[in-house]
Every structure is written in structure tokens, then in C-alpha cells.
Structure 1
Amino acid sequence: MERATRADVARAAGVAPSTVSLVLNGRGPEVKIAPATIQRVQDAARDLNYIPNAAARSLRRGSSRLIALLMAELPDNPFVPVVHTVLTTAMIEIQKRGYLLLPLFQSSNDPSDAQTIRSVLGDTQLAGVIRETTSAESFTSTLLANLGIPIVAMSMINTEDTQGASALVSIDECAGVKEILSEHLNVGKRGHAVFLAGPNTNHSRQLPLEAAFGTGFTLLSLPDWDASSAYQAALRLLSDNPDITLIAVADDSQAPGVFQAATDLDRRVPQDLSILGFGNQEPASSQALGLTTVEWPLREMTQGAVEAMISAIEKPRKAKKAQRLTVPTRAVWRSSVARP
């Protein structure tokens, strides 16, 4: 079946092809086309499954409806649900506003991988780029700046670095942790807190713990995010130091190992040991454990980045300083942290 043309829609609606263009570009009311005629054109286009030529429309408008989401490589675990949340939220929010998403991932450190993406950025007519900056990536700010289109930076962690973007949307990791500590029974009393980090420690979610416990705080970086590694670490730490009253993990995926270590050592949760998570990416698993955790607002962060991007495209403004939006984390109380 041949693709319907603008002329086909015009014949079906009994109007000129120029009228079809005006109506389908949303300019019917502006040029005072009768509502009945607008409806007739829209019905004809729908009946014929007419889809305007995107390339031609972009040339006529002098603009694009395509927004790129540029992400660097993230570890497989526990970041698979993270990538899924960011990607699907960006896709839905961008599409709702009449644009399309072009996801671009740097999947390796191979120079050819980065060069391929550079070629796509250079050869594709884009309306803007949302740049996820949580993990280090090899795309230079100069390259993006030279595209001459809006760039919005988006970070899943605390940061003030805009990476040369016109807007920065980031997450305050500490807010939810502080909220929980403000009600934690053992803060300010005798005790020791341990933070189990993963392979990377570029986050700051441990800082409120360090501030609250002072010299009674220990950070331990583990080689991976597996619950088995957290189990071995927690088992050793709890055996060596009976004063530990709180173990916090950088991600909820590590928490089952800490619970198992507490069980094996007859440490009651939360009476003897509080366990604090971070992420809440798989609420059902955390709920089953009774894990008190911190909600990582990835969806709200992505929505904010899309909003900033659409605003930069449709309402451009000259500003000396980048706009900043910070989305706070929040406490998710269950039963694993002792409260008064």
C-alpha cells in the first residue's frame, strides 16, 4: 500500500493542499480556518493514516523534533533498573510534548564507539541534548557546545558541575539520609556506623552518616554490588566490633547480605543493629526485608531535565549562569532502623 500524501488528504477533505499543511501544523485557528474545515482535514488524515514527512517539516520550520539522551556506560548491577527508569521516563515525557527521543550510549572505552556517537551528533539534526553526567564519559563539552543547540545536564548524584550546559538537574542524595538520621534512636549515643560502598564512591550519600557519628564512622568500599560481598564484609565487621549499631549500604541490592550476617550472628534488627538502604528501585524486595531506605527520585530528575530542555528549545533565553534544579531524596520508613 502506497503512503498517503498531502494531496490525497486535500482531495478527501475537499480543500487545498496548503490548507492541509496549515491545519496539520496546528496553525488552523491562527489563520482563521473554520473549525468544521479543521475537523474535516483531521478526519481525512486519520482515515488515510497520513503521516507528514518529518524531514520536510523540519526544513520548513528550520527546527528539529528530535532530542538526544547521551549516557555513559553504567555497571550492569544494580544500575539496570536505573537505566530503565531514566530511559522510559525520558521517552514518555519527550513524546508527550511532541518530540522524539534518540538514546545514545557509550557502551565501552573503545575510541571507535565514541567516534560513532560523535558522527551521529554531527550528522543528525537535533533540537537539543540531555547529557547524563553521573558516570565519567569521554564526550567533550566543546563538542556539544559546537552543535549550537540547547544542552541540559542531568546528574543522579550531588553536583554543581554544569559541564557547560545551560541547565543542570541533579539529585540531593543527602536529604533522605538526613531525614532518617533525625529520627534514628542511636544517633548521638554510643555506637558505631558503617557505610558499605560499591566499586565507585563518587556519591555523597554517606556524608550525613559521617557527620552524625564522627569518629564512630567507617566507610568500606566493596569490589562489587553483590549481596554476597556485603554479607562477608558485614559478618567480619560485626564480629570484630560489637559497638556497630548501624550499617548503611550504598544500594538496596547489598542489603540482603547484611540482614543474613545479622541473623547468623544473632543480632536483632533493629533492636541490636539498624540497617539502612538506598535506592528503593525494587520496592517489593525491600518491603519483604522490611528495609528502611531512601527513595532515589530518578523519575522526577528525568522529568525535570525534559522540562528544562523543552523550555530551552521553545523559550530560549540569554543567561550568564546555568539554571539549577535539585531534586531531594526522601525517606522510606519500614522496620529496619530503630526509632524512638
Structure 2
Amino acid sequence: MADVAREAGVSGQTVSRVANGRDNVDAETRERVLDAMQKVGYRPNSAARALRSGRFHSIGVIMFTLSSFGNMRTLDAIAEAAAASGYSITLIPVAHPTQGEVSGAMRRLSEEAVDGIIIIVEVHLLDERDVVLPAELPVVVVDSTAGDRYPVVDTDQAHGARLATEHLLALGHRTVHHVGGPERSYSATHRREAWEATLREHGAEVPPPLVGDWSSESGHAHGLALASDPDVTAIFAANDQMALGVLRALHESGRRVPEDVSVVGFDDMEEARSYWPPLTTVRQFFDEVGRRSVEALLHEVESGERRASALVRTALVVRESTAPPPDTNRP
């Protein structure tokens, strides 16, 4: 720092202010100090700054499954929002969403230099009281539940499923069949429950839900079973990947989409508009989920005050995979 001060012709205190991101330095002086830092090869010592400030400017993220489209989009948004606030992230993937693995990941992060933790574990896991979470670190939960212990930021899963089901009923379909996600999935449960409640509210028959695993393969397997039933005219799949498998099964079985069967997905993947036909789906705003989870965490880090849980909106995107049922088009 003394070398930088001599090179820039300023005091050591001014160099310290620039190095720590303070705003009480005029732009011309700041630029001169930054140029001097580059010339002499000076880099601020983040460990020393953390010792002085008590902050590491790092966020820990625990995430179950790196292969999920929603999880990866949320992680991208978290990393972008963290970087915009001057924070880095430390990611610990959890291979199996058991209480022991999550608790172990929490212990590992509590030993790292992080200021707070975001948990993205989409199972009904954090209801369990024996999951050990460090009391000294702020925690925000995404896509699960934590009771009243921690703020939760999540997509309004129920509203999205209601939009999808009501869209198909409004087209004239007598009922809507559902290809759901895994039974332990928090989001899949909310989508399935909202689908069923919407059918009951409209006096429609509730077919037995089919349980998939989010993959196009499971959607294809269930799609073949549904395609063999001529009474099936509308299918709501709990994500776009399973909807893709359903579309393939219907095409293979000679059932036209949407002339014979309408299909709706959930997520609005970038590829959904390139499905054939382009997929009607429920859009999730992953960028907003990631941004709001970082905002909630940093608010608690900086103020010590915990924010309330938040639901992020969904929107129905209508494309060419839905239409009135075939019997309404007959002369």
C-alpha cells in the first residue's frame, strides 16, 4: 500500500479507502490509485479485510442435483446477483437429499469463509427438525419449506399449475390428466395438489396422477399409456422435459397434437418454443427467484433483520400445443 501511495501521490489512508470500495474518494483520485495498483502489482488481501470488517463477501450455496433445469437457472441467477453485490459463491452439491448429507454440507460451509447460506433442495426435507443448521449464519431456503425458521423464496407453484389446468378446461376439455414429478419433490407436490384442487372446483373428474422423475424418458413412458386411452384429450406435465416425452409418445401412437390431445408443460425452457408443436407452458422467473434470494440473504447479513418469505409470480405462455378437444370441432 505504501508503494501504491507513493506512485499515486496520495496518502495510505486514501489507498485504503479505494481498496475497500469506499465512496468518499473523488473519481480522478480513485482512477489514479487504481492505475498505481495495477502498475505496482498490488492486490487487496481479502482475508485481512475480512478480519477487519467481519465480512468475507462470500455466499455458500447448497444444492441438490446439478442436472435440474430449474436448479441450474436459479444458481446462475444467484451467482449473477451475488457478483453484482460484490460477493462470490461457494457451491456444495448434495448427491442424496438426506438429513445427514444436508447437515454435513452445512457443517462444511460453516467452516468456510462465508457470510450466509442459500439452500436449494427441492424435497420435503427442511420440515425435519433434525437437520442441523448453523445458528450463527443467515440462511435463505429456495424451493422447499423451512416452517417459520428461515425465509423461503419460491415460485408460486400452485398458481402456475392452476393457470395450466384452467387453460385446458376453458378450451372445453372435460378433464386434464397429469404427469407429475417425484413424490418427494416440494414443487411437484404443490403442482399436483393445485391441479387436483382446480379440477374439483370446476366439477371435473380427477384422473389418477402419474408419477415421473422430471426426465423426458418418464414423460415418454407415461405418454404411451395415456395415448392408448382415446378419452384422454388434455395432459398437463409438471415440467417441459416430461412434456417433450409426452409429445413424442403421442406422435408415435398416431395421436395428433393439438388436434387430438392438448399438452401443457411447466418451466418455459428456451427449447420449449422449438418443440413440435411449440409448447404451451407455465413460465417460471428463475432470475427473480435468484435475485430475491440473494437480496434477502444480504439484507440479513448487513442488517441482522430477517425478511419475510416471498412467492415469485408465474405466467402462462400459450403456444400451438393446445386447442379445443376434437369433439367440439365436429360438424
Q: TM-score, normalised by structure 1?
A: 0.80
Contact between 2:281 and 2:316, CA under 8 Å: does it hold in 1?
A: yes
Separation in 1 of the partners of 2:138 and 2:107? 18
Q: Output one character per residue of 1:50-71: Cα deviation in whole Å (capped at 9) or x when no partner.
A: 2200010011112221111122
- Give the unaligned 5+ runs of structure 2: none
Q: 1:193 aligns with which of 169, 173, 176?
A: 176
Task: Give the structure 2 partner of residue 177 of structure 1.
Answer: 161
The 8 Å contact of residues 192 and 243 in structure 1, kept in 2 or not, is answered as no
Q: Take 1:101 and 1:250, find their aligned partners in 2: how far apart are those partners?
A: 30
Asked if 1:59 is matched to 2:51, the reply is yes
- Structure 2 counterpart of 1:237: 226
Contact 2:171–2:323 (CA<8 Å) still a contact in 1?
no
Structure 2 CA distance, aligned partners of 1:28 and 1:296?
37
The aligned counterpart of 2:314 is 329
SS in 2 for 1:192: coil
The 2-side partners of 1:174 and 1:246 are apart by 19
User: Following the alignment from structure 2 to structure 1, what is the Cα–Cα distance between the partners of residues 269 and 173?
Assistant: 32
Give the number of aligned pairs: 318
What are the residue-to-residue correspondences of 1:306-325 with 2, within 5 Å? 306-317=294-305, 323-325=308-310
Shift of 1:109: 6.6
Distance verdict in 2 for CA 1:58–1:171, change over 3 Å: same
> Percent identity among equivalent residues?
29
For structure 1, the 5+ residue unaligned runs are: 1-5
1:15 is aligned to 2:10:
yes
Structure 1 counterpart of 2:193, one-letter code: L
Q: Is the 8 A contact 1:291 1:334 kept in 2?
A: yes
Does structure 1 residue 46 correspond to structure 2 residue 62? no
Distance across 2 between alignment mates of 1:178 and 1:110: 30
> Would you say the 8 A contact 1:20–1:41 is kept in 2?
yes
1:116: how far off?
5.7
Match of 2:266, SS?
coil
Q: Structure 1's 190 and 120: CA in aligned 2 closer, same or farther, altered over 3 A?
A: closer
Matched, 1:210 2:196: yes
List structure 1 runs of 4+ shifted beyond 6 angstroms. 109-112, 138-142
The AA in structure 2 aligned to 1:22 is R
Letter in 2 for 1:251: N
2:197 counterpart SS class? helix
User: 2-side partners of 1:290 and 1:248: how far apart?
Assistant: 15
Supply the RMSD in Å over aligned alpha carbons. 3.1
Distance 2:216 2:95 in 1: 25
User: 1:23-172 counterparts in 2 under 5 A?
Assistant: 23-27=18-22, 29=24, 36-71=28-63, 73-74=64-65, 76=67, 79=68, 81-108=69-96, 117-136=105-124, 143-146=132-135, 148-155=136-143, 161-162=146-147, 164-165=149-150, 167-172=151-156
Aligned 8 A contact 1:249 1:255 in 2: yes
